[in-house]
Amino acid sequence: MAISIGNAPCSWGVEFADDPRNPPWQQVLDEAKAAGYHGIELGPIGYLPEDPAVLGDALQSRDLELIAGVLFQPLHDPNAWDTVLDAAHRTGRSLKAHGAEHFVIIDSIAEFRVPTAGRPDEARRLTEDEWRGMVGRLTEVSRIARDEYGLIPSIHAHTAGCIEFRDEIDRVLDEIDEDLLKLCIDTGHCVYAGYDPVEHFRVNRDRTPYLHFKDIHEGVKADAIANRTGFYDATAQGIFCTLGDGLVDFAALKHALEELGYDGWGTVEQDCDPAAGNPVVEDASANATFLKSVGISVQ
């Protein structure tokens, strides 16, 4: 097992490039490096500089590697296709310019799924026509990433998107060829959606080149399910806690990674509400320390 640990701008509350609450991008790079990380994700396209010279110099001066980019776009919405395509190409160009490999694709939050986050029996599912349209768009952006930019596209299930629950992610993997689309397992979103990320990894090891490390607070999740709390409110309440303080069995995950010979990046993503006063620097350091303590890291 050989894992390098990275982080992502979302751990600093950066979900949208134009959010005025975002910290300066230089601060995120500085603090990620100081907290002990070797790599950083791109974040929402337009947050980190798209000029290769500017970002390249910033990464090199901090001895950070650009790991991946996330296409966090509403693939479920046919009316957003032009925006999706623009983001796909911009993300692909940025990743290719810096030698990153991983192009992570997420169907972003659907407002009609927000109120039923984590509750598969209550969520409004896509119709067959809607599903086929979304899978077609997912297939096309995967082809763009692979064939036009030489990247590894991976699907990432996300709470309150239309690829959230185990049956939905399994269906995507069944319907799109493995040569075109891989899997990025996010441990926290798996648990939020009600399934075991370790078992998910074991079943899909050969299709999983990239991991996101996230944890879910047991009490906040229990209250969210019982009270039918929506995704945004649960996030503000701290459902995404520091690693080791939640429901994810990282010891079991470490055993599975070691047993099955995982060799690649694992990126911490502790989503937070930038308005909630989260101690992001302290959390970033605590997460790196925790991963080292359970043997999920290399220097």
Q: Which pTM was predicted?
A: 0.96
The predicted structure's pLDDT at residue 278? 63
The predicted structure's pLDDT at residue 280? 82
End-to-end CA distance of the chain: 13
The predicted structure's pLDDT at residue 274? 65
The predicted structure's pLDDT at residue 277? 62
The predicted structure's pLDDT at residue 297? 78
DSSP conformation class of 145: I
**Phi, then psi, of 94 in degrees rounded to 5:** -65, -45
pLDDT string in tens for the chain (299-residue length): 678 999 999 999 999 999 999 999 999 999 999 999 999 999 999 999 999 999 999 999 999 999 999 999 999 999 999 999 999 999 999 999 999 999 999 999 999 999 999 999 999 999 999 999 999 999 999 999 999 999 999 999 999 999 999 999 999 999 999 999 999 999 999 999 999 999 999 999 999 999 999 999 999 999 999 999 999 999 989 999 999 999 999 999 999 999 999 999 999 999 877 666 666 889 999 999 999 999 987 64
- Residue identified by tokens 């490039």 is 17
CA distance 166 to 79: 26
Domains of the chain: 2-293 (3.20.20.150)
Instruction: Taking the CA atoms of 175, 178, 184 and 185 in sequence, report the sign of the dihedral they define.
Output: positive
The predicted structure's pLDDT at residue 45? 97
Centroid of chain to Cα 293 = 23
